[in-house]
Amino acid sequence: MAGRTDEQHRIALFIDFENLVTNTGISANNFDLQPALDQLLEQGKVVFRRAYCNWSRFEDAKQRLHDVGVELVDVPPSTRAGKNSADMRLVIDALELCYAREQIDTFVIASGDSDFCPLAYKLRENGRTVIGLAVREASSQMFVRACDQFIYMKPKNRGESSHKDKDHGGRGSKSDEGKGGKRGGKGHDKGHDKGGKEAAESKGGKPKAEVPAVAREVVQSLLRRATGPLNPSLVKETIVRKEPDFDERDHGFSTFARLLEALEQEGLLRRVQQGRQGYIVGPDSDVGAPPREAKGGKGRHAKAPVPVEEEEEELESYPDPDDEGL
């Protein structure tokens, strides 16, 4: 990780597919990885993409995953109850890739299962960044805290899924929509108490903008110890380290810059511009402040001091030599 920039990150994506589509509001026929993939591509290059599942149960999702370059690993059931070893295969492949490919510095585990906590700990122990990816209602808080960052996937509503199925040639049938609807209903009921924000967003409403306490704490702590202007990205990274699933949009801010603007209005910081880069400083800092007015003047309307005219030197008088003899 040392010496790398955001553009140089090499990311490996591992997907426990069955975990993402079981009681989460997402079904095989409306699964869409692209929004989450777009967020990962903002952080670096996704050079490894693999999904594990018994694919005979989820035929509808195979083509969509192929379209975004995901390699499908078929893990048939190993017990009479139908349980497979997809999670074990995922862990083995992730560790093997960690030790064999040092250039891959970021591992994304698409699952909300707390069984992947030991994997996250081991990857971080080896200097890798771990990002979790799952649906909020089906994510274990233990696994969320085990990751450096956590991205939540949002289930599509029924109207969006049915419209998309029509665009793909009508492959989605009414029976598939019914199954997806049941899963979606169960998922939303489970997260009704915690997921009120998602429900409001699905109806077209936006959550009320409210600055989270963690943002205030981080900004005050960093500014208290800072010896110069702070890059806003450092503030965001520090917040994410404390709360891996932090997302300013969950608090009503479209961008992190909007959140900083709200903090500036509260008087906790001041934003300054140096060249093309914006920074934040303490509210009482002199960095980027307008020049102070001189004590006897009022800005540009102050009268300039009147220059003191040099006094003309008096001509010395010398006695007339003719008068000396008189």
Sign of the Cα pseudo-torsion (131, 136, 138, 142, in order)? positive
The pLDDT confidence band at residue 158, using thresholds 50, 70 and 90, is very low
The pLDDT confidence band at residue 284, using thresholds 50, 70 and 90, is confident
Q: Who wins on pLDDT, 299 or 27?
A: 27
Task: Tell whether the model's pLDDT for residue 192 goes beyond 50.
Answer: no
Distance in angstroms (rounded) separating the CA atoms of residues 310 and 307: 9
The pLDDT confidence band at residue 305, using thresholds 50, 70 and 90, is low
Task: Tell whether the model's pLDDT for residue 63 goes beyond 50.
Answer: yes
Distance in angstroms (rounded) separating the CA atoms of residues 118 and 124: 10
Task: Tell whether the model's pLDDT for residue 207 goes beyond 60.
Answer: yes
* Mean pLDDT (whole number) for 150-158: 77
What are the residue boundaries of the structural domains of the chain, listed by start?
A: 10-153, 213-281
Task: Using CB atoms within 10 Å of the CB of residue 154, give its burial: 0 to 12 exposed, 13 to 18 middle, 19+ buried.
Answer: middle
The position carrying tokens 């890059």 is: 231
CATH class, domain 213-281, is mainly alpha
Q: Who wins on pLDDT, 316 or 187?
A: 316
Strands (E), 119-170: 129-135, 149-153
* Mean pLDDT (whole number) for 170-184: 41
Looking at residue 206, what is its pLDDT?
63
Using CA atoms, how far residue 304 sits from 115, 153, 249, 300, 307, in Å, is 76, 65, 52, 9, 9
Asked if the 10-153 domain carries CATH number 3.40.50.1010, the reply is: yes
* Mean pLDDT (whole number) for 225-229: 87
Using CA atoms, how far residue 137 sits from 81, 113, 134, 162, 208, in Å, is 25, 12, 9, 23, 21
Compute the mean pLDDT over every residue in the chain, rounded to the nearest whole number.
77
112 Cβ neighbours under 8 A, 6+ residues apart: 19, 20, 132, 134, 135, 138, 139, 140, 143
Cα dihedral angle (308, 310, 314, 315), rounded to 10 degrees? -160
* Mean pLDDT (whole number) for 75-93: 81
